[in-house]
Every structure is written in C-alpha cells, then in structure tokens.
Structure 1
C-alpha cells in the first residue's frame, strides 16, 4: 500500500513535476476566465455600456461552461489530457486576445460567451492527476491541483488592475487582458512538450464507447438521464435572465429559439446515452468486475452542487453584502470578502487529505454538515456583529465549503478510471448549475434567506451522502488485448 504523505517540493519525482504542470495549467485557465471582472469598470467606460449590458456579459461569461465541462470530459477520456489541455489553453488564449482587441459590444459579448469554454479546464487535470497518483495520495493531490489552480481567479482580481496601470493609457485594460491570453497560449505548447498522460509503463484506459457514460444496468440508465435534466434547466434559467422577462437582452423570438435549441440538445444527448448503452438496453450483462454504481456519480454531483455552487454564488455577492451590512467602502468590503476565496489554497488540499486518511464518506459527511452549519451562522450576521467576527465566521464557513470540494474530487478518480473525465465533467458542471440556481434564488430573497436556502440544500446532500459506498479493493479495466487490469481504489 502506498504512503498517504505527499511532498510537493520533491521535484525529483515525475508525479510531483506533473502535479505542478497541471495545477498551473488550471490556474491559467481561471486567470483567463476571470480576467473580465477586475477590468469591468474600464470595459464599461470604453464601450459606454449600461447596467443591463454589463449583467448580460457576466451571464454570457459562464453560460457555456456547463455544457463545456461535459464535452471536455468526453474528449479527455477519448484523446487524453495532454492533447486536450494543450488545445484548450492555446484556443482559449487566442479567444482572450481577440476579446482584448474587440471594438463593439456584439463582438465582446460573443467572445465572452466563447470564453466560458475555458472554464472547463478544471475537468482535464482531474483525470490527469488521477492517472499519476495512487489511491492513498489521490485526494491530497487532487486538492492541491484544485485549490492552487482555483486561486487563479483571485490572482486575476488582484493583479490585472495593477497591470493595466503599468501599461497605462485608455487601452491599458486591453493590454492586461491580452497578456493573460498570450501566457495561456504559450503555456499550451509548453504543457504539450512536458506533460504525459500516464507514468511510464502505465496504460491509459479509454471507455468502450464515446458520447456518454456507460452504465451497468437499466435502473442506472434511467437515473443517469434524470441527472442530466438539471443542467438543461440551469441553461434555461440563464436564457430567462437574458429574455424580455428579465434583462431584456434577447427578444421573445430569440428566447423561444434558445429554449427550443436546449430541448433539441437534450433529446440528442439522451439519444447518445441510449446509443452507448445499447448493451444494457439489450440485456447484455456487464461483467461484475467492470460494474460500478451510478449513485456514486449522482451523489458526487449534488455534493459539488452545494459546495462549489455555493462558493461561486457567495463570492459573487459577498463584497456587496459586507458593504451594505457594515457600511464599508467598496475596497474594504472587497478585501474582507476575498478571504472566502483565499481559503482555497489550504482548504481543498485539506479536504483531500482528510478523505485519504479518514474515509471518503465520513470526511464528506462531516464537511457537508459543517458547511450547513456555517451558512446557518452567516444567515444571522447583521450590523450588530463586530466586523472581525463576521469575517471569522465567513472564513470558517469557507473552509468547510472548499474542503468539501476537495473531498468530492478525492472520490471522482476512484469510481471508474476509464470514464474519469466524463464523471469529473458532469460533477464539475453540477457546480456551475448550483451557482446559477443559488444566484437566481438570491434575486428573489434576502441575504439571510439566501444563506438558509444553501444550508437547507446542504442538509439534503448530507442525507444523500449517507448512501455513498466507500471505495474498497480494486476496480477493473480491460487492456487492449482483452486482459483484465486491476486498479487499487483503497
């Protein structure tokens, strides 16, 4: 059995070098994806945008990420992380540079929509890191990958305004954003040169069929199709936000057209799912050692819905919450709220470490329960609280949120190796679904009720986690010659 310790400074080990290559690639995707927000005031002035146009850009920036994570997960399983990550960095970098050079609102809206695809970069490294690290280390390794890479959003927020000032002039924001795109573009080639899909001598297992997860029985097939529905509902909510009933950036005909497109895409996806699971439909039995339970995937989906989904939603509203509750300046409120994101550096690896050493289900249960309590506490914050106590409560809640994310992705690589990309893609997409749903709820209720809604969802997820089965022993995959390979998962 492998040791659960991990020395991230031991660069003599190939797997540690690969870990650093991977988290920095993910870091750059988040820098590029989130380079828009800190430059928003300059962009608004440059294009003379109104409030509705700004809100529309913010929605477009995340709209494509939900389907992109599912698609990228499929591509990773089929072509390998090395090619897919390199291609995503190179293409995303080019789109970013094009955005910096755009000269009309229509152009920046289109490019911001396309930029959402780079938000799927996270999924790629989950499969890659899972290939390189054994079961007893994979949680901590995935936590380092996710936590350090996710910090790219905070670095973008802190560094880009300064970089724009250094460049100077009315186009400083353009040069700052273009710089991040050029970095991603260059790193894409470097990543392709240095990264490898698996350690030397290991096999990269691919799914038997492409187009969807291959499940083990008809009950799981129905469950899988049902779990696809919320992703389309979230996209429908985003369409509604752009429709005449909300921001009014789309006319009725365009809104109806998008609803029809989503319905058609759902039908197409279901047909693909049925196609890749034709053996299940035809009652062809799956060999016992190759079976897995889809409920494991579904539970990870809803756990990420409430962990990462709530993080994205809370990070979006927390500065304004502090500013209004304690009558702070925008700068002071932003600094205090940034603590929520800063916890990623330690909390995600911490969640992975707990999962590796104290049990997958037990760790996730404790962290989700702590998350629920944390949001209940945040719902009680008002102007009578000392500011320092509100910040401490926020940081404590943030630890459970982000450690929970680490615990989720400590389990993802252990479900079914050949489909880790697709499982990670679906789970990651559910995080974005959660953000859309929670932010939509926030538009209808008070801040206190918003926190309580998240706490209630966490309580439901806690109950669901109790049905998760602890990964034990080995899973089986087929080599190209038909022989069986056993992969340790505990």
Structure 2
C-alpha cells in the first residue's frame, strides 16, 4: 500500500483526497486563472486599439511586451522554487500580478498600456510553478502525464478568455455600468480578483511536497547547490528550450493574434473572432495530455531518445500545418488547419515537459524555468515577425521556422546515447548516465 507522503504512482483525475491530488487540482486550476488573466485583454484589443488609436506597429509591440517579461520571470521563479518551494513562490506571484491586471484599465495612452501589458506578462511564470509542483507529487513513470494534464487544463484559460472576456465586456455595457468604448477597462478587474482568490487557496490548501513544506523538511546547515548552473550545463536543457520555443512560443502567439487575425483578415465580428480563436485554446483540454501520455509510454519502451523522436515528429507536422493555415484563404479551411496544427503543437508541449523532470532531479525548478523561458523567447521573436509582416505572411514564415526546428531536434537526437532502460522507474537513471 502506497504511503500517504510519497509521490503517487498513478493519476486518477476524479480523485481529490490526499495532499498529492488536492495539490494537483489546485495547481492546474490556479494556472487556468493565471492564463485567463495573462491573455484577458487579447480578445478586447480591437476595443483598446479603437480607443487608444493604436497602429499595427504599436499593437505588435504590445504583443511582444505581453511575453517579454515572462522570460526573466520564469528564470527567476524556477530558481525560487528550488530555494523556497512552490507554495510560497506561487502565492507571491499571484498577489503581485493581480494589481497590473486590475489596473490596466487606467491606461490612457499607448505608453501606459504597453507598460501595464509588460507587467502583466510576469504572470506567465506561473507555468514553471505548475510543472514543478506537479512533478514532485508524482512518481517517474507518471510525471509526464501528470505535467501534461495539469499544463493542458491550465492552458485552456487561453481559450476561456477568448469567449468570456468579450461577453463580460458586453454584459457590463448591457447593464449600463460602462460605455462600449470603456468596457475593456472594467472587464479586466474580474481576472485580477480571481488571482487574489487563488492566492489564498494556494497558500492555505497546498503543500510543497507530499511529505510537507520545505521549511519543515530542510536539514539545517545543509549546503544548497546552484541549481541554475546544474541545469544550464546540460545540453539537453537547451534542446528542450529550443523545442519549447517552437511549440509554446507559437501557442501564446496564436493566443495573442488569432482573434485579430480572424477579425481583420476574415471580417469576423469581435465575439465571433473570439469564439473561433477559442477553438485553439480549448484543445488544451486533451491535446497536451495526449502528448504527455504518449511520451511516457514511449519512454517506457525506448527511453529518452524515443521521447525525443516523438517530439521531433510533432514539431515537423506542426510546422507543415501552420504553413497550410497561412495559405488557407477560406474561413472553414483555416479553422480546420488551426485545429490540426494546434493539436500537434499542444501535444509537443506535453512531450517536451514530460522530459523536463528527468534532466536533473536536483534542479527540476531551474530546468523548468529555462525551458519555460525558451517558450517566451520564441514568442517574443515571433512577435517581431508579426509586427513586420501581414498576419498571413507572418504565419507562413512561422511554419517554415517550426519545421526547421523539428529537423534540428532530429539532428540533436543523434547526440543522445540510447537509453537501455525498459521501464519508467529506470528512465531517470538511464538519462542521467
């Protein structure tokens, strides 16, 4: 019989008892709220652009700002996880980020809006905390699946915001609380309040590990290693960083620009554009989990190199799908192709983070932080692409780039010594060899 303070050997999503499953559910729900708040303003950008008279270049800069601050934040948060544990770190992040989310409505110019959008981007570091906290609650053979499910369900906040934020803004107007032009300002108070609620829940009802909080478990006088250097010295960390730039970096780009793309290029209404863009976000309910589950199963049989092969295949198909999406021309085909490349992309997300906990067990937070930052570096660079070119052309060049990254991962795969482990329990040892 499994100990109550040991990592779980299996994932039963319908179970809520025990510190492991309670933490799992609170973690993914908190990440959902963070993602909702992070991109809450995205489907309302046509209103913001109209009121603040934003140019395409300025909107491009805002999109870049939304993901730029996350890069440094993820690196810092990964290290803080290793030092102070996810419970305190996540709580602090939620409280700090609630204020720029609620106060972005005070913006009265392009500059002030840009600064608020930059500050809100810090909340993207919540992903590192989600993956770290989930990883420590589950045994090696199920880490990839648990991480993928938690990350995927949390990422659905990107789909929920595309649907709910325009409806919240419209509801405020219908109730006579605010004008249509100013509705985006008051609407952003709602996700900010949700962040504060989850800060209380997270601090009150989660533990750092199955055995308890770090301050209760630490041995006094024990010297702590520099986990960031441990993570940075392993080239596999950087391989996963590049891969994550090509999958999650694309994901948050689509979250930022999909509604505007359908609104501008296909003449969809604000609410319809949000609904169409939400299809991409809702794929996270199952797609990222499938990527993690497949990776775990392949890892049991073929080891780490098998996991890398899966990631390479997903990236190549993602790139092809994006190129075809850019050339669709008609709305129904564009939606279908968005579904296809979104499926590959989100499975690649899950496959990437199924490997993260195995790079170095002493530096899980730092590895997660570096790889997670890679996703945002990718999104920032992609933002410059969308700033310089019309959306359709930018999507095509993006597809070519992702296809190329898939080929690079294929080449790097041959630097990996085949893992001889046949079981997931042996996988971490095999990968550290």
Other-structure match for 1:79: 84
CA distance in 1, matches of 2:42, 2:131: 26
CA distance in 2, matches of 1:414, 1:202: 22
Other-structure match for 1:357: 297
CA distance in 2, matches of 1:446, 1:175: 32
Change in CA separation of 1:323 and 1:454 when aligned onto 2, cut-off 3 Å: farther
Query: Which secondary structure does the structure 2 equivalent of 1:208 belong to?
Result: coil
CA distance in 2, matches of 1:434, 1:83: 28
Query: Which secondary structure does the structure 2 equivalent of 1:379 belong to?
Result: helix
How many Å apart are 1:29 and its aligned residue? 1.2
CA distance in 1, matches of 2:106, 2:330: 46
Task: Name stretches of at least 5 consecutive residues in structure 2 with no aligned partner.
Answer: none
How many Å apart are 1:98 and its aligned residue? 2.3
The answer on whether the counterparts of 2:243 and 2:405 sit within 8 Å (CA) in structure 1 is no
Q: Deviations over 1:219-270 (max 9, x none)?
A: xxxxx4xxxxxxxxxxxxxxxxxxxxxxxxxxxxxxxxxxxxxxxxxxxxxx
CA distance in 2, matches of 1:299, 1:155: 31
Task: Name stretches of at least 5 consecutive residues in structure 1 with no aligned partner.
Answer: 216-223, 225-292, 477-485
How many Å apart are 1:424 and its aligned residue? 0.6
Residue range with higher mean Cα deviation, 114-123 or 96-105 = 96-105
CA distance in 2, matches of 1:145, 1:382: 30
Change in CA separation of 1:57 and 1:193 when aligned onto 2, cut-off 3 Å: same
Give the greater-gyration-radius structure (CA).
Answer: 1
Query: Which secondary structure does the structure 1 equivalent of 2:404 belong to?
Result: helix
Q: Deviations over 1:140-195 (max 9, x none)?
A: 11011110111112211211111122222224322210111011012202210111
Other-structure match for 1:465: 413
The answer on whether the counterparts of 1:90 and 1:189 sit within 8 Å (CA) in structure 2 is no
Other-structure match for 1:310: 250
CA distance in 2, matches of 1:323, 1:57: 18
CA distance in 1, matches of 2:45, 2:260: 16
Query: Which secondary structure does the structure 2 equivalent of 1:214 belong to?
Result: helix
Kindly report the root-mean-square deviation, in angstroms, between the aligned alpha carbons of the 2 structures: 3.4
Residue range with higher mean Cα deviation, 38-47 or 78-87 = 38-47
CA distance in 1, matches of 2:127, 2:24: 13
Residue range with higher mean Cα deviation, 39-48 or 117-126 = 39-48
How many Å apart are 1:86 and its aligned residue? 0.4
CA distance in 2, matches of 1:134, 1:67: 29
CA distance in 1, matches of 2:395, 2:431: 45
CA distance in 2, matches of 1:475, 1:30: 32
Change in CA separation of 1:419 and 1:193 when aligned onto 2, cut-off 3 Å: same
Change in CA separation of 1:449 and 1:303 when aligned onto 2, cut-off 3 Å: closer
Give the one of 347, 355, 371 matched to 1:427: 371
- Give the TM-score, by structure 1 length: 0.73
Change in CA separation of 1:320 and 1:69 when aligned onto 2, cut-off 3 Å: same
Equivalence map 1:64-463=2 (5 Å) = 64-168=69-173, 169-170=178-179, 171-200=182-211, 208-210=224-226, 212-214=228-230, 224=232, 294-318=234-258, 327=266, 329-330=268-269, 335-359=275-299, 360-380=304-324, 388-441=332-385, 443=388, 447-463=395-411
How many Å apart are 1:110 and its aligned residue? 2.3
Q: Deviations over 1:28-59 (max 9, x none)?
A: 11111111212223333444444444333332
